Structure 1
C-alpha cells in the first residue's frame, strides 16, 4: 500500500486536479432491498472510446446479506499531500464500503484488476461498536490522519449520539471515536472540513429508529429531524458552534465546502420545509469570529393531483422537490442539486456564492412526471436524479436514482427500478445534456437498486486540497 512516490491521482490544488486524466471506470453501490441476496459494487465502463462504454464490466458481491450499501469512499486522496499529512505515499487503492443497515464495513482492493475489486477485510458491527461506540456507518472521507466515517447511531444500534469514527489508513482497524468534546451535538449525517483552517463541519439527519422505516410523518411535522449544522475545531476535536437553520427546515444533509482552501464557505442542502414542502440550499460562511448560514436557493413544491401521489403526499396535493444530494465542481463554479421528488437535476453558477444563478436543468423520472431518458423515450422512469457525482474536470455528471430503501418505497410505491445516467456539461456557459450512449438500467443491475457512484482516480466529492 505504501509508495515511494505520491499517487499520480493526488493533486496539491484544485486547479491541478481539474487537469487530471478522464476517468475510465466508475464504481457504483448496488443493494438488494429485500435483503435476500448480497449487495454489490458494480463497475461501469466510462471510456467513450471503449466498445463497452456505458456497460457493466465488473461485479463484486459482498459476503453477507442485509447491508444496504449507501455511501462509500476511497482510503486515501489528495489530502495526503498536505504539509501536515503523516503518510504522503499512500495509494488511492481501497474502497471503504459501509453497510448502513448492517453496520459492517467492507474494504475492497481495486488492484491489480480495477474491474474486479476484491474484498480484503470486513469490519463487523461489534468492532465498530466496541472501539468507537457507533453504528449505522454512513459517509466516508479520507483525511490527513485517518479515514473519517460518520455514523448515525450509538453502539449496537442505540439511538445515539451519532458521530465520527476513525479508521487506520494502513490496517483499516477502527481506532475509536473522533470527538474529544461533542458539546450539544447528538444527531449526525455528513462530515466535511476546511483543512487549512482546522475547521470540521457536520450535519444532521436522525437516529436509527427515525430513519430505518422511512420518514415518520409525526416526527417530520413535529420538527424532530435534524435542522442544524455544527462547527468543530479539527485539531482539538472539540465542538465550537451549533448553527440552527430553524426547525421548519428539516434534514440538512449533504455538505459541500469550497475546494479552494483559502475560502471559508460551503453549501448544505435541506430536504424539506414543513411549512410549504419546498427545498433549499444554504451557504455557511464566516461571521466575525463565528459562523453563520444564509439561505441562497429556494425550490418550491409542484402542485399535483392527489390521485397521482403516494399516500404520504396525498393530503398535501403537491410534489416536494426533496433535495437529497448536492455536488460542487472542483473549480467551485457549478453547484448541482438533485430534486429526487420532482425528478430534476439543477445546475447553478455559484461563482458568487451568495447569489447563485440557475444555468441548467434536466428532468429524469419524478414522482408524477416519470420523465424518460432520451435513449429510451418510451420508458417512463421511476426514482429521480439522486446521488450526484461530478468528474474532476467538471465536464461530466453522473446521477443514480435510488435514495434509501425505505424512502424509495414510500415515495415510489410501485417500484423505483434501477438506472444511472451521464450528463455532459457546457463548462463555458453552463447547461446539461444527457449522453444518449450512457444509460445502464434495468436488468443490467440484476435486480439491485443503485446508489452512490465513485469515479476511478477521484471525483469532485472525494478529495480535499491544502494549496490554492
Structure 2
C-alpha cells in the first residue's frame, strides 16, 4: 500500500481518519432530488455550505437528468480513500471527480462530472438498465461505494423481471462499464440493501430490506407482520466474493438497513440500523463485531415508539396508536466517537457517544418534522414540517451534520399522506465539548427551492463520513 500511496495525486484521498478530519472543510453539498410523479426529470442539486460565502445555505447549481421516472435515491463518488488499497491497478490518475446516481425505479445509473465547474456537474454517461441486467444479472440499483476492485453497486432486484435475488454489481472505476456480479458464492443471501467492508480484515458486510415488489408500493402490512422483510446481516470474503456467515437479528427486527463500519482500519466492529420491531414498534441499532473466529451482533440501542391518539396518525398506523421511530439512516463520525440516528417517524435526530461501541450514550437530540410533531425549523418557525430527519451525512471533521427529509416515494405517501414536502437542514455540534446539537438557522433550502422535487441523500465535496474507508490508522 505504501507505494500506491505515493502515486496518488488527488488530495482528497486520505491515508487515515485523522488525516481526513484535518483536511479543509467542504464548501459544497450535493443532493439528489426526484419527482414522485415522474413527469419531470430528477436532478442533482448543489448547495453552498461555505460559511464565508455570500451564497451560504442557498441552492447554487442544478443538473437535470436526461430521463424521467428514475427516482434518485442513494449515490456516491467513483473513487475515494480506499484507492490506497488498490493492488495491481494504475491509480496515479484516479480522482474523486464523478458522482454516480442510480435510479431506484428505472435501473439506470447516470454519471456526472464535477469538473471543471463543481457547482454545475455535467452528465457524461448513462449506464442503462439493459447493461446492468445483461452483465451483472441485477436491477434496481440502490447504494454504491468505491472499493479496491472497482465500484460496488448494491441492487435490490434480479434481471429480466426476476424479483430477486438482489446482490452487488461491480463497475469499472475508469470507464464505468458494468463488469460482472461481484458474488461468486452467495450462500443463503436473497434480500439486499447496503454493503460495506472492513478492508484490512478482507470482510464485506451486507444487509437486507426487500425485493422490488416488497417495497415499491409502500410497506405491505401482511409481509411486515409475517416477518418477511430482511432481518439478517451477511459476512463475506471480500477478495473472493464468497458468503461466509449469516447472522439473524431475530425475525421481529424488520428491515436491517444502513451499515456503518468503524473507520479505524484495525477495528472489527460497526453499527446496523433496524427500522422497526413487530413486537412493540420500537427501532434499534445493533453492533456487529468479531468474536473469536465468528461474527456476531448485539442490540446496543433501543428507541421506543411514542403513544399518540389514533386520529393523529396516518391510516396505516391507526390500529397501533403509536408513532414508530422508524430508524431509516445512521451515520458514524470519522473519528468513531459519535453515532447519528435518524428517526424518520418521530422527526428526531439523535446523537450518541459511542467511544465505547458496546455501550452508546445519548448526548444530543433535535426535532424537525415528524408524523405527529411536525416540528418547525427555527428559520421558519410558523411552518410545520412534513417528512422527518431521514438521510444524515456528517462532515469529515465531525462538526457539521446535514439532513434531508424524504425516504422513498411510495413510503413518503403512505406515512405522510398530506405531503412530504422537501427540505435540507444543517446541524452543528462540538465534539470537543462532548457533543450536543444546534440547528443552523442560516441553512434551510426548502419548498420552492427544490422546484417541487423531493430531497433525498447528501454527499459532501471532498468526501464525508460515509464515503470513505481507510487503510492506515494514522
Asked if TM exceeds 0.5, the reply is yes
Conservation of the 8 A alpha-carbon contact between 1:349 and 1:358: yes
Aligned to 2:286: 282
Q: Which runs of 5+ in 1 are unaligned?
A: none
Q: Which residue of 83, 96, 109 maps to 1:92?
A: 96
SS in 2 for 1:336: strand
Match of 1:30 among 29, 33, 42: 33
The answer to whether 1:419 aligns with 2:423 is yes
Which residue is 1:249 aligned to? Answer: 253
Q: Distance in 1 between matches of 2:53 and 2:198?
A: 38
Which residue pairs with 2:354 in the alignment?
A: 350
Cα pair 1:132 1:177 within 8 Å, conserved: yes
Do the aligned partners of 1:134 and 1:157 also contact (CA within 8 Å) in 2?
no
TM-score using structure 2 length? 0.97
Cα deviation, residue 287, structure 1: 1.5
**Which secondary structure state, in structure 1, belongs to the residue aligned with residue 431 of structure 2?**
coil
Aligned partners of 1:330 and 1:393 also within 8 Å: yes
2:3 corresponds in structure 1 to none
Q: Is 1:80–1:87's contact at 8 Å kept on the other side of the alignment?
A: no
Aligned-partner Cα distance in 2 for 1:87–1:218? 51
Tell me the CA shift for residue 5 of structure 1.
4.4
Q: Please, which of 171, 180, 186 is the counterpart of residue 190 of structure 2?
A: 186
Out of 120, 138, 144, the position equivalent to 1:140 is: 144
Deviations 1:305-355 (A, max 9, x none): 111000100000000000000000000000000000000000000000000
Q: Which residue of 2 aligns with 1:432?
A: 437
Deviation at 1:236, TM superposition (A): 1.2
* Counterpart selection for 2:393 from 389, 394, 417: 389
Partner in structure 2 of residue 48 of structure 1: 51
Of the three residues 459, 462, 465, the one matched with 1:457 is 462
Corresponding residue of 1:109: 113
Could you tell me how far 1:6 is from its partner in structure 2?
Answer: 2.1
Q: Is the 8 A contact 2:398 2:431 kept in 1?
A: yes
Partner of 1:366: 370
| Structure 1 partner of 2:79 | 76
Please point out which of 437, 451, 458 is paired with 1:446: 451
User: SS of the residue aligned with 1:312?
Assistant: helix
How far the C-alpha of 1:268 sits from its partner, in A, is 0.1
Q: Is the alpha carbon distance of 1:382 and 1:85 closer, same or farther for their aligned partners in structure 2, counting shifts above 3 Å? A: farther
The 1-side partners of 2:408 and 2:8 are apart by 40
1:145 deviates by: 1.2
Residues 144-189 of structure 1, C-alpha deviations (whole Å, 9 max, x = no match): 1100000000003411100000000010000010000000000000
- Please name the residue that 1:8 is paired with: 11
Residues 219-234 of structure 1: matches in 2 within 5 Å? 219-234=223-238
Is the contact made by 2:300 and 2:360 (CA closer than 8 Å) also made in structure 1? yes
SS at match of 2:413: helix
Q: 2: CA distance between counterparts of 1:358 and 1:181?
A: 40
SS state of the match for residue 74, structure 2? coil
**By how many angstroms is 1:82 displaced?**
2.3
**Residues 308, 368 of structure 1: 8 Å contact kept:** yes
Q: CA deviation at 1:87?
A: 3.8
RMSD: 1.0
Question: CA shift at 1:95, angstroms?
Answer: 0.3
Which whole-Å CA distance do the structure 2 matches of 1:317 and 1:134 have between them? 39
Residues 213-362 of structure 1 mapped to structure 2, 5 A cutoff = 213-362=217-366
The answer for unaligned runs of 5 or more in structure 2 is: 1-5
- Count the aligned residue pairs: 466
Counterpart of 2:62 in structure 1 is 59
